[in-house]
């Protein structure tokens, strides 16, 4: 039966497909409600159905995004099925604007899948960022020793868990020593406005690399559901920057409005740090203003459809990782 719901062919192409993230994780768009046109219908609630051109829809969506009119974008919702290491899930759940249902280790057996960072993503603690890693990889020797210790710990944790569930220890107790590298999964439903906020923070270079990888895939899925809204988000939020009162005052001292547009003020030299401080900017604010004016590369977040997996393949991998606790499994 043909649906009467608004759909997007690009989203339908990937709906229910699973995109790998990290070594055992994934993101899948399970369902969505609404497209770009629904934002316009919500904003122009008195207008009839399908009365506008795409160029007009694009103009309105960009106006709404530019001027922070966010409620129309709450009319679109996306539902994801995701699997991630527990330490990523603990960061992710900080965004308290979604409906979440997580895999229950009290009810179901935990798949014994553990995240192992690849060599190029393994680094020492940053001297400049207390919650981040250095840009360069750590030495091969340090990485090798870390992997050895991780494997030793995980083998012990997996063995203990398997023994306890085979001995009929309550699953809610048997799971308690599984490490943060263990993969969990959940269904995560969120409206477009709150998804934009999540993605703005989590595709940023300052976010932990592992959660960036999930956010990039989700941005690619969003691009297929609501491409005009995605474009406005990239332009105004991801690649754009808000300016403070002091920053605007500093820029006004360099340019002036004219009937034709904006022109440079005559005889004005480039603003040094002393002049910027005169506009009330601290040293850190000056550094941030300088970064805001740096050229920005516009991302596209396009998905590689060749990597998309079927639900059956993913389910089989998860099932194979569940401990075998049958009487003839060799456990006692």
Catalytic positions, please?
202
User: Residues of 236-250 as b/e, b for ≥16 C-beta within 10 angstroms?
Assistant: bebeeeeeeebbeeb
194: left (phi over 0), alpha (psi -120 to 50) or beta: alpha
- E strand spans, the chain: 18-21, 25-33, 77-85, 99-102, 183-191, 255-257, 262-264
What is the helix, strand, coil percentage profile of the chain, to 5?
A: 45, 15, 40
Q: Tell me if residue 272 falls in helix, strand or coil.
A: coil
Q: Do residues 86 and 180 make contact, with C-beta atoms less than 8 angstroms apart?
A: yes
Cβ neighbours for 2, distance < 8 A, ≥ 6 positions apart: none
Q: Tokens in use for 17?
A: 């497909």
Number of residues that make up the chain: 332
Q: Do residues 320 and 109 make contact, with C-beta atoms less than 8 angstroms apart?
A: no
């Amino acid at each position: 039966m043909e649906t009467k719901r608004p759909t997007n062919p690009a989203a339908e192409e990937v709906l229910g497909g699973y995109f790998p993230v990290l070594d055992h994780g994934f993101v899948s768009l399970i369902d969505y409600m609404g497209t770009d046109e629904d934002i316009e219908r919500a904003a122009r609630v008195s207008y009839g159905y399908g009365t506008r051109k795409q160029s007009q829809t694009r103009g309105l969506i960009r106006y709404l995004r530019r001027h922070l009119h966010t409620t129309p974008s709450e009319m679109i919702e996306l539902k994801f099925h995701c699997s991630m290491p527990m330490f990523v899930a603990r960061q992710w759940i900080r965004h308290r604007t979604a409906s979440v249902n997580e895999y229950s280790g009290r009810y179901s057996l935990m798949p014994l899948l553990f995240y192992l960072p690849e060599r190029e993503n393994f680094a020492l603690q940053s001297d400049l960022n207390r919650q981040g890693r250095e840009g360069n990889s750590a030495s091969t020797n340090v990485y090798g020793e870390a992997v050895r210790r991780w494997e030793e710990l995980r083998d012990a944790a997996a063995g203990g868990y398997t023994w306890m569930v085979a001995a009929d220890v309550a699953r809610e107790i048997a799971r308690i020593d599984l490490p943060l590298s263990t993969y969990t999964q959940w269904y995560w439903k969120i409206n477009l406005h709150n998804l934009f906020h999540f993605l703005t923070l989590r595709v940023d270079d300052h976010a932990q690399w592992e959660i960036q990888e999930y956010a990039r895939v989700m941005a690619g899925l969003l691009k297929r559901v609501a491409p005009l809204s995605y474009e406005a988000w990239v332009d105004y939020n991801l690649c754009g920057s808000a300016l403070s009162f002091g920053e605007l005052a500093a820029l006004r001292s360099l340019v002036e409005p004219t009937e034709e547009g904006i022109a440079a003020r005559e005889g004005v030299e480039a603003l040094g740090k002393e002049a910027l401080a005169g506009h009330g900017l601290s040293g850190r604010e000056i550094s941030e203003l300088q970064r805001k004016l740096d050229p920005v590369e516009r991302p596209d977040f396009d998905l590689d459809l060749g990597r998309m997996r079927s639900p059956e393949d993913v389910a089989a991998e998860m099932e194979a990782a569940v401990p075998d606790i049958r009487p003839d499994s060799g456990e006692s």
